[in-house]
Amino acid sequence: MTSSTQPRPVPPAHAVAASHRLVVLVSGAGSNLAALLDAHRDPAYGARVVGVVSDRPGIAALDLARQAGVPTAVVALRDFPDRAAWDRALTEAVGVFSPDTVVCAGFMKLVGAAFLGRFGGRTVNTHPALLPSFPGAHGVRDALAYGVKVSGCSVIVVDDGVDAGPIIAQEAVPVADDDTEETLHERIKVVERRLLVDVVGRIARHGLDVDGRHARLG
């Protein structure tokens, strides 16, 4: 029994931060999810993946979540009369897990007004190009076709644009003359996984401040 005059015990920092709940949205292989699942096993990371939601069944990312004991949900566009209904269902499915932060990790759909109304400002996405260059579903292919000598990856705050939100972090990856889309993307993904895990952990432990186009980690 604690009276109002007694000081309330202050939980250790990692115990408080470990309550930072992550929901990860996926559409494919789940290499970024795998990196987050690996990181969240350490209590000092300060966040844990409490749910994984996909827009399609039967993908490797869902198997990774199940193997890690993380609940999953599938919200497939084809099961809904239109995109707005799908967006509302996705919002509800993610809301079930009460996330503090939503991470789009290889998620290949654009979220809509219902989703952003509930999770806007605390949804981040990772993109395999140096935004604002080469947004969209084929960033690696487009960068290679353009002939850039440096590409990379970007972690952004999701807004109602296509990979257009405030940039949180970026890292450059050199492009080799003999690169294919596959070789370049694999090299980018090595950097991308590390950057995403770092950014998400810092959001969990220190917060994220978004002021217009400027996003700053705490």
Closest separation in Å from C-beta 7 to ligand GRF? 45
Q: For residues 189-208, which are near ligand GRF according to CB under 6 A?
A: 189, 192
Of 40, 127, 138, 214, the catalytic one is: 127
Residue 68 Cβ vs ligand GRF, minimum distance, rounded to whole Å: 14
Q: How is residue 83 written in tokens?
A: 């995109």
Sole window of 24-32, 42-50, 115-123, 163-171 interacting with ligand GRF (rule: CB under 6 A): 24-32
Among 48, 127, 187, 205, the residue binding ligand GRF under the rule CB under 6 A is 127
Q: Which two tokens stand for residue 45?
A: 């990371």
- Per the annotation, the verdict on 40 as an active-site residue is no
- The residue among 17 and 156 lying less far from ligand GRF, judged by its C-beta, is 156
Least distance (Å) between residue 9 CB and ligand GRF: 39
- Residue 31 interacts with ligand GRF (CB under 6 A): yes or no: yes
Distance between CA 111 and CA 122 in Å, rounded? 13
Q: What is the dihedral of CA 214, 97, 114, 110, to 10 degrees?
A: 60
194-211: buried (b, 16+ CB within 10 Å) or exposed (e) per residue?
A: ebbbebbbbbbbeebebe
Residue nearest to ligand GRF (CB): 106
Query: Is residue 143 close enough to count as binding ligand GRF by CB under 6 A?
Result: no
Query: Phi first, then psi: what are they for 139, rounded to 5°?
Result: -55, -45
CA–CA separation, 99 and 52 (whole Å) = 11
25: left (phi over 0), alpha (psi -120 to 50) or beta: beta
**What is d(CA 145, CA 136) in angstroms, rounded to the nearest whole number?**
14
Residues tagged in the binding site annotation: 30-32, 83, 108-111, 125
Q: How many residues belong to the chain?
A: 218
State the nearest-atom distance from the C-beta of 71 to ligand GRF, in Å: 19
Per the structure block, which two tokens stand in for 35? 């990196």
Q: Which one of the spans 64-72, 91-99, 121-129, 166-174 is the region binding ligand GRF (CB under 6 A)?
A: 121-129
Residues 6+ away with beta carbon under 8 Å from 102? 22, 23, 24, 25, 94, 119, 122, 123, 124, 158
Q: Which residues have C-beta within 8 Å of that of residue 58, sequence separation ≥ 6?
A: none
Q: Which of 14, 29, 77, 202 binds ligand GRF (CB under 6 A)?
A: 29
| Among residues 46, 128, 166, 201, the one that binds ligand GRF under rule CB under 6 A | 128
Residues 84-103 that bind ligand GRF (CB under 6 A): none
Catalytic residues: 127
Interface with ligand GRF (CB under 6 A)? 26, 28-33, 61, 105-106, 126-128, 189, 192
